[in-house]
Amino acid sequence: MTDDLRSHIDEAMTLAAAQLGKGRVADYIPALAKVDPAKLGFALALPDGTVHASGDADEPFSIQSVSKVFTLALALRRVGSDLWTSVGREPSGSAFNSVVQLESEQGIPRNPLINAGAIATTDRLIDGRAGDAVAEEIVDFMRARAGDDRVEIDFDVAFSESETGARNRSLAHFMDAFGNLTHPVETVVGVYFRQCAIAMSCRQLARAGLFLAMEGRDPFTGEQIVEAHRARRINAIMMLCGHYDNSGEFAFRVGLPGKSGVGGGILCIAPGQGSIAVWSPALNEAGTSLAGAVALEHFAYAAGWSVFD
């Protein structure tokens, strides 16, 4: 089994490497524009503690929107189902930073994995506390899930996001105007920019996602991170909304819940089997790593991993 997985990873990496040179690195956040588009990393974390890593799997990258999965888990832990009064659970079919639906839907974002929805989720997670304390809670959570204290916020990226964050601020102000923000805009986006700027390697990220593959339980610490029904629902949201208006295509090609970020990372959950993180910075038009999605597609196909079995 292990030998098979290794050869599936090798094959997937060869096919993904053939895609390098296609796609574009995100440049609307200047600090991300400097990343080498030829990077390619893959890590598969299994519940028994094994991690199969390949390529640039130990190099930290900006996890960006992949953070939204973890803040969703934290917000559900903190405020429970009441979160769903602030954010919906429907695919948006539009760009990650789109403002259009917020107007017609009275400031309630479609889902927690688009920017507006993640900002609303972070607002609920703050829950009356200081922004700095919440940013610290998020980083501590990522360290604990990764089993690695070296996970850090990249403050250059956070600063760069804030400097160019007019659109995210607009989303926050828009929600505020509809009464769907409980803290000042700057407090909320201040936490949001920092969560997006967390830097992690594929190895750390794959390990961090494992609780979602194991019914909400971290197999390393034995801790129930979220209840099993919540883990399933987070996976359902990733499946339907994890790649913005590219979510259907990803579900069709990969068949597993995933979440992409404009740093080029994708976290992919194979329920009961393991957690996979890939990284390659050049993106398709929707903001999903081009080579990363190819690696996942081929690995899932070869391993026969799908939620539609």
Helix (H) or strand (E) holding 189: helix 185-196
Q: Does 161 help bind ligand GLN (rule: CB under 6 A)?
A: yes
Report in angstroms how near the CB of residue 280 gets to ligand GLN at its nearest.
14
Instruction: Give whichever of 202 and 303 is closer to ligand GLN, judged by the CB atom.
Output: 202
Give the separation between CA 150 and CA 203, rounded to whole angstroms.
12
Report in angstroms how near the CB of residue 260 gets to ligand GLN at its nearest.
7
Q: Does 65 help bind ligand GLN (rule: CB under 6 A)?
A: yes
Residue 192 a catalytic site member:
yes
Q: Does 91 help bind ligand GLN (rule: CB under 6 A)?
A: no
Residues 307/79, Cβ–Cβ less than 8 Å: no
Cα→Cα distances 47→105, 254, 265, Å: 41, 21, 21
Residue 65 a catalytic site member:
yes
Report in angstroms how near the CB of residue 8 gets to ligand GLN at its nearest.
27
Instruction: Give whichever of 37 and 274 is closer to ligand GLN, judged by the CB atom.
Output: 37
Residue 98 a catalytic site member:
no
Give all strands (DSSP E) within 243-285, no chain letters.
258-260, 265-270, 274-279, 282-283
Q: Does 170 help bind ligand GLN (rule: CB under 6 A)?
A: no
Among residues 244, 254, 280, 294, which one is catalytic?
Answer: 244
Instruction: Give whichever of 274 and 287 is closer to ligand GLN, judged by the CB atom.
Output: 287
> 49: left (phi > 0), else alpha (psi -120 to 50), else beta?
left
Q: Does 56 help bind ligand GLN (rule: CB under 6 A)?
A: no
Cα→Cα distances 235→70, 113, 263, 265, 300, Å: 12, 12, 21, 17, 16
User: Helix 131-146 crosses helix 115-126 at what angle (to 10 degrees)?
Assistant: 100
Residue 262 a catalytic site member:
yes
Q: Does 283 help bind ligand GLN (rule: CB under 6 A)?
A: no
DSSP-assigned letters across all residues of 134-160? HHHHHHHHHHHHHT-TT-EE-HHHHHH
Q: Does 97 help bind ligand GLN (rule: CB under 6 A)?
A: yes
The torsion angles phi and psi of 41, rounded to 5 degrees, stand at -135, 155
Residue 28 a catalytic site member:
no
- Pick from 73, 202, 226, 262: which binds ligand GLN (CB under 6 A)? 262
In three-state secondary structure terms, 10 is helix
One-letter amino acid for residue 32 of the chain: L
Q: Does 123 help bind ligand GLN (rule: CB under 6 A)?
A: no
Instruction: Give whichever of 231 and 262 is closer to ligand GLN, judged by the CB atom.
Output: 262
One-letter amino acid for residue 153 of the chain: I
Q: Does 238 help bind ligand GLN (rule: CB under 6 A)?
A: no
Instruction: Give whichever of 54 and 98 is closer to ligand GLN, judged by the CB atom.
Output: 98
Q: Does 265 help bind ligand GLN (rule: CB under 6 A)?
A: no
- Pick from 261, 264, 281, 292: which binds ligand GLN (CB under 6 A)? 261
Residues 207/49, Cβ–Cβ less than 8 Å: no
Q: How many residues touch ligand GLN (CB under 6 A)?
A: 11
**Minimal CA–CA distance to 68: which of 40, 27, 43, 96?**
96
- Pick from 168, 180, 273, 275: which binds ligand GLN (CB under 6 A)? 168
Among residues 35, 51, 68, 134, which one is catalytic?
Answer: 68
Instruction: Give whichever of 223 and 285 is closer to ligand GLN, judged by the CB atom.
Output: 285
| H and E: helices and strands count for the chain | 14, 10
Give the separation between CA 152 and CA 146, rounded to whole angstroms.
12
Q: Does 196 help bind ligand GLN (rule: CB under 6 A)?
A: yes
Q: Which residue ranges make up the site for ligand GLN (CB under 6 A)? A: 64-65, 96-97, 115, 161, 168, 196, 261-262, 287
